[in-house]
Amino acid sequence: MQALTILFNAPGAEIPVNYQHGVQSMLYEFARPADASGERWHDGGASYGKRRFKLFVFSMLRGNFKLADRRLRFESTIQLDVRSVDDEFIDALANALYPNRTANLLGAELRVASVTRSAPVIDADLVTILARSPIVARQTLNDGRSRFFTPQDPEFAPYVDGNFRRKYASFTNTTPDSGITLAPLNVTARNKVVTRFKDVYITGWKGQYALSGRPEYLNFLLYSGLGSSNSAGFGYFDVMETNASE
């Protein structure tokens, strides 16, 4: 399990507010040299029944920008953080992201300034987290539409727990001995985020939460993401405070 912090030079870059699919495609393109078939990262992943999990997650774009006409105009640099439980995926990205390499993100030219590899660890069974990208919990209805749960809905926490159990089992081929609990601490209407990914609108929630479970499981979530659609840039979080449960 590893993380990359990628810093791009991008003075004046203008990027649409719904950029997640563009970032996902850019990451796949970076990893392609280590993927002879061109399909391993895009079509692969860990299987659980009919589901397939990519088991990586990335942050929202960070930097100083101005918003106008639903576009972000960055002043100088853009930071993107990527985490994965699959070390080979991180290795592929790190090997491809050499200094001054250019990339096109939805029409904006980005130039790699630096890449930093790290491996943060959670050593407590209770942490306060900040959702840096929206956490998505949803149910597919009989007519094919999605119902998105809010953090206050009784279905929200069980969904996140069930999603964790499926992802963990898909990667380790073992069933977790226990689950995880996610409870909102400071989540308001301002934390609601609606994103268009391709032609689908996805509703998720940022904010502060209490996350508890075995440290092994919390670390797995740190590198794979909370909730659904992680490889689309949802469910990325940082630890704000650690606590030992009584």
Residue 19 to residues 14, 163, 187, 199, 200, Cα–Cα distance (Å):
11, 24, 24, 12, 13
> What percent of the chain has a predicted confidence (pLDDT) above 90?
72
The CATH fold of domain 2-118:
Alpha-Beta Plaits (3.30.70)
Instruction: Give ranges for CATH 3.30.70.1890 in the chain.
Output: 2-118
- DSSP for 57-78, written as a single string: EEPPPBS-EEEETTEEEESSEE
- 77-84, strands of its sheet edge to edge: 56-58, 77-84, 2-9, 108-118, 102-105
d(CA 70, CA 119): 34
- Measured distance CA(69)–CA(106) in Å, rounded: 15
If DSSP codes are grouped into helix, strand and coil, which group holds residue 11?
A: coil
Query: For the segment 124-171, what is each residue's pLDDT rounded down to a tens digit?
Result: 999 999 999 999 999 888 787 889 999 999 999 999 999 999 989 888
What fold characterizes domain 126-243?
Alpha-Beta Plaits (3.30.70)
Tens digit of pLDDT for each residue in 42-99? Answer: 455 444 445 554 689 999 999 999 999 999 999 999 999 999 998 988 998 999 898 8
With a CB cutoff of 8 Å and minimum separation 6, the contacts of 50 are: none
Residue 37 in 3-state DSSP?
coil
Strands 65-68 and 51-53: unpaired
Dist CA 234 CA 228 (whole Å): 7
How far apart CA 55 and CA 116 sit, in angstroms, is 20
Across 126-230, where does the E strand assignment appear? Answer: 126-135, 138-140, 146-148, 181-186, 192-197, 200-212
Residue spans in the chain of domains classed CATH 3.30.70.1900: 126-243
pTM flag (> 0.75): yes
